[in-house]
Amino acid sequence: MASGEVVKRAECGCCGIYEECTTDYILWVQQRFGGVWVCGLCEEAIKEEQARQGDGIGVEVALRLQAAFRSETTIRIAPVSILQLIKKIMSSSSNSASSLSKVPLASL
């Protein structure tokens, strides 16, 4: 990247992830995807969707199909559930560690 290039934060129109990119790159991607900026992962998924659908479907259609697929398959887990899961894992791993410390080394 040249020292004079302007970097901006761009949001993927498919998955919502943010990336920092040069304004030139953002414009280039938007030109390829009907005015929407997409991240590299979604770009590849859109290309695969076009190949899978065949018959020369447009980028816009493939983008909509990929976005719909992502929204249907995304599992939303509440932060409280994640914290409870981490607590359970830590509790079980500390129980395992304490039970191992009681086992004589000769038996290992």
Looking at residue 44, its pLDDT comes to 87
Tell me the mean pLDDT in the region 19-46.
Answer: 91
Instruction: Name the more confident of 13 and 66.
Output: 13
Tell me the mean pLDDT in the region 60-89.
Answer: 71
Looking at residue 56, its pLDDT comes to 76
Q: What is the pTM of this model?
A: 0.55
Beta-ladder partners of 11? 18
pLDDT tier at 45 (50, 70, 90 boundaries)? Answer: confident
